[in-house]
Structures are given as structure tokens and as C-alpha cells.
């Protein structure tokens, strides 16, 4: 177990250094190099001394390897640069926005799991019956629906046509206030969850189906246990384990989905901050957000793998 954990953490650290390398490449993508980057960030009216000052402050005139190590140091100390457009350090902006995005992601994941798992089990129990085929078709359609299109349709139907829920997410400053305004959360959370409900229920269906063919299920049946007990105690418990891995693997996609959902519903989280930064050419904020999103994903996947190892003893000794 300890050996596995150590190996897994080292792998995560390597990936984070890789993320730094990608960030570094992004900074050097600017056509025309550091000077034009400075000009884009400082604006077209920046004077030559201002640009020189910017280059010096950010170490952009140092040798390329030194620059890379400075960047790695910055990432590990959470020093993400300064947004010249919003006049705030990127880290401060991230600290304000991150909890709200975590709330959105957490609720959506919860809704996904709560709906998808029973749905998958239901399909297995009624396999190859019309209800199974109907749900499979439905999940294929939801899986293919772009998140933003679903969001737009939900706004059209539930907000504009039926006035059931507000078309915009709560604009409150804190997580607690957003939660107290739960009606505004319903549409964004469901929009983000829908694709994953489709994917997870399909996966749950196959996972459960596979578990039912395992030897221990046959043994349990041979012992004369009731079908309910075999299904829910023996098969289900084992079928649930791969779902945790799937959660870890899906995390990057869910974070991308949050970006779209937040911009459709004007939800004041990281995704919207990123989107606005992209429109306003706020490059320090843009790249800082990517780093945070990537780091959060790496940590999330790490946690999922650790949880997996805790739950499935076979993994610990590999």
C-alpha cells in the first residue's frame, strides 16, 4: 500500500512538472517572443522602459532554463502572476472563484452518481427489455448533446417558457449564499451532470453485467443465497469500484464542462473568470487558471486512485 502510494505521488509530481512545461511553452507561443508578450499584456501604449521593466521583473531576459526553473518555483509556491486587466494577483482571483467552481463540480458529481448508479442497475435487472433499450438510446442521445446546447434548451424550456427556475446562476459572493439560492443552481448542475449521467449509467450497466458473470457470484448463487442478496451485496459492491476510477478519469472533462456551464449560466466561478480572461486577452490570468485547473485535476485523480486502492485490496499489492 505504502509503496503504491509513494509511486503514485511521484507520478503526480512528475505530471505537475509536465504541466509547468506546457505552461512554459504557452508563454513562449507568443509570436515575436517576450517583447511582444509584454506588449500584449501591458497594452499598446506601453513605453520602452515599461517593457524593459516588465521583462526584468518577470525574469524574461534570463536564460531559458533559468526561466523554466523560476516558473516551476512559482507554481509550487502558488505565485501565479498578476492580472494587469483586473489589477489583482492571479492567486487572489483564483482563491475567490475556486470554491464556487468546486461547489458546482461537487454537486454535479453527486447528482451524477445518485442518478447514474441506480439507472445502470435498473437496466441490468431489466436487460434486453424495452425499458433497457429506451434508456440506452436516451443515454446515447444525452451523451452526444453538447453541454452548452443542453444548457440553452433547459433555459428556454424551464426558465423562459415555464418560469420554473431562473435562467442565470446566483451571483452571490460566497458559497453559502449561492447554496441558499438553490433554485438558481438546479439548471447549471443538471446541465453539467447530464452528459456524465449518460456515460456513467452506461459504464455502471457494463460493470454490473461483468460482475454478474464472476465466479464469486456463481458461488454465492450455488450457496443458495437469494437473488436480491447476490445482486446487491456480492455483485453491486464489486461493480461500484470501477466507478471510482471512472470519476478520476472523467475529472478533466468535467472541469472543461464546468467552463462551458459557467459561461452559459453566467456562474461566477473559475470557468467564467477564464472565459472572460480569454476574451479580454488577460494572459497572466488565462495561463494561471490553466495551471490551477490542471493541478486540481491531478490532485483529484490522485485522490481517486488512492480511494480505489483503499477499496480494492487487489491493487495494494501490485
Cell of 107: 454537486
CB nearer to other proteins: give 84 or 172.
84
The total number of residues written for the chain in this structure = 318
Q: Which residues are CB-contacts of 55 (< 8 A; sequence separation ≥ 6)?
A: 34, 35, 38, 61
- Binding to other proteins by residue 109, rule CB under 8 A? no
CB 78 within 8 A of CB 91: yes
The interface with other proteins within residues 193-212 (CB under 8 A) comprises 195, 198-199, 202-203, 206-207, 209-210, 212
Q: Residue 126 half-sphere exposure, CB side, CA atoms within 13 Å?
A: 13
Residue given cell 523554466 in the structure block: 68
- For residue 177, the minimal CB distance to other proteins (Å) is 26
Residue 282 backbone class (left: φ over 0; alpha: ψ -120 to 50; beta: rest): beta
Residue from the set 2, 31, 48, 313 that interacts with other proteins by CB under 8 A: 31
Beta-bridge partner residues of 89: 82
Give the range of 54-62, 176-184, 217-225, 292-300 binding other proteins by CB under 8 A. Answer: 292-300
Smallest gap from Cβ 16 to other proteins, in A, equals 9
Nearer to other proteins, 26 or 72 (CB): 26
Binding-residue total with other proteins (CB under 8 A): 67
Among 45, 213, 222, 313, binds other proteins (CB under 8 A): 213
Count Cβ atoms below 10 Å from residue 123 Cβ, excluding itself.
25
In angstroms, give the least distance from the CB of 168 to other proteins: 12
Q: Which value, to the nearest 10 degrees, does the dihedral of the CA atoms of residues 178, 180, 185, 190 take?
A: 130
Binding-site string for other proteins from residue 40 to residue 79, where x marks contact by CB under 8 A and - marks none: ----------------------------------------
Shortest Å, Cβ 245 to other proteins: 9
End-to-end Cα spacing for the chain:
9
Enumerate the β-bridge partners of residue 88. 83
Any contact of residue 166 with other proteins (CB under 8 A)? no
Name 187's Cβ contacts closer than 8 Å, sequence gap at least 6: 151, 154, 155, 158, 159, 165, 166, 167, 265
Instruction: Please give the residue ranges that form the binding site for other proteins (CB under 8 A).
Output: 11, 14-15, 18-19, 21-22, 26, 29-31, 127-128, 132, 136, 139-141, 143-149, 152-153, 155-156, 160, 195, 198-199, 202-203, 206-207, 209-210, 212-213, 242, 246, 249-250, 252-253, 255-256, 259-260, 263, 274-275, 278-279, 281, 283, 286-287, 289-290, 293-294, 297-298, 301
Amino acid at each position: 500500500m505504502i509503496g503504491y502510494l509513494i509511486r503514485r505521488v511521484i507520478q503526480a509530481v512528475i505530471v505537475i512538472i509536465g504541466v509547468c512545461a506546457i505552461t512554459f511553452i504557452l508563454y513562449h507561443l507568443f509570436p515575436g517572443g517576450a517583447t511582444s508578450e509584454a506588449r500584449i499584456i501591458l497594452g499598446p501604449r506601453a513605453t520602452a522602459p515599461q517593457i524593459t521593466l516588465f521583462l526584468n521583473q518577470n525574469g524574461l531576459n534570463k536564460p531559458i532554463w533559468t526561466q523554466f526553473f523560476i516558473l516551476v518555483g512559482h507554481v509550487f509556491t502558488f505565485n501565479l502572476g498578476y492580472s494587469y486587466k483586473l489589477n489583482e494577483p492571479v492567486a487572489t482571483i483564483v482563491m475567490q472563484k475556486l470554491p464556487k467552481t468546486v461547489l458546482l463540480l461537487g454537486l454535479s458529481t453527486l447528482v451524477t452518481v445518485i442518478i447514474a448508479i441506480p439507472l445502470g442497475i435498473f437496466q441490468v435487472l431489466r436487460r434486453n427489455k424495452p425499458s433497457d433499450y429506451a434508456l440506452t438510446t436516451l443515454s446515447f442521445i444525452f451523451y452526444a448533446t453538447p453541454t452548452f446546447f443542453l444548457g440553452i434548451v433547459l433555459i428556454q424550456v424551464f426558465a423562459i417558457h415555464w418560469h420554473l427556475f431562473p435562467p442565470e446562476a446566483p451571483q452571490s459572493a460566497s458559497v453559502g449564499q449561492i447554496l441558499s439560492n438553490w433554485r438558481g443552481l438546479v439548471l447549471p448542475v443538471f446541465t453539467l451532470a447530464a452528459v456524465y449521467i449518460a456515460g456513467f449509467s452506461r459504464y455502471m450497466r457494463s460493470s454490473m453485467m461483468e460482475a454478474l458473470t464472476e465466479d464469486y457470484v456463481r458461488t454465492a448463487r450455488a450457496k443458495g443465497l437469494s437473488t436480491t442478496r447476490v445482486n446487491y451485496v456480492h455483485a453491486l459492491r464489486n461493480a461500484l469500484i470501477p466507478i471510482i476510477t471512472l470519476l478520476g478519469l472523467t475529472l478533466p472533462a468535467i472541469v472543461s464542462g464546468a467552463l462551458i456551464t459557467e459561461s452559459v449560466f453566467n456562474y461566477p466561478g473559475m470557468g467564467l473568470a477564464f472565459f472572460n480572461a480569454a476574451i479580454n486577452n488577460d494572459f497572466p490570468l488565462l495561463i494561471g487558471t490553466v495551471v490551477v485547473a490542471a493541478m486540481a485535476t491531478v490532485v483529484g485523480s490522485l485522490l481517486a486512485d488512492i480511494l480505489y486502492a483503499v477499496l480494492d485490496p487487489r491493487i495494494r499489492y501490485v
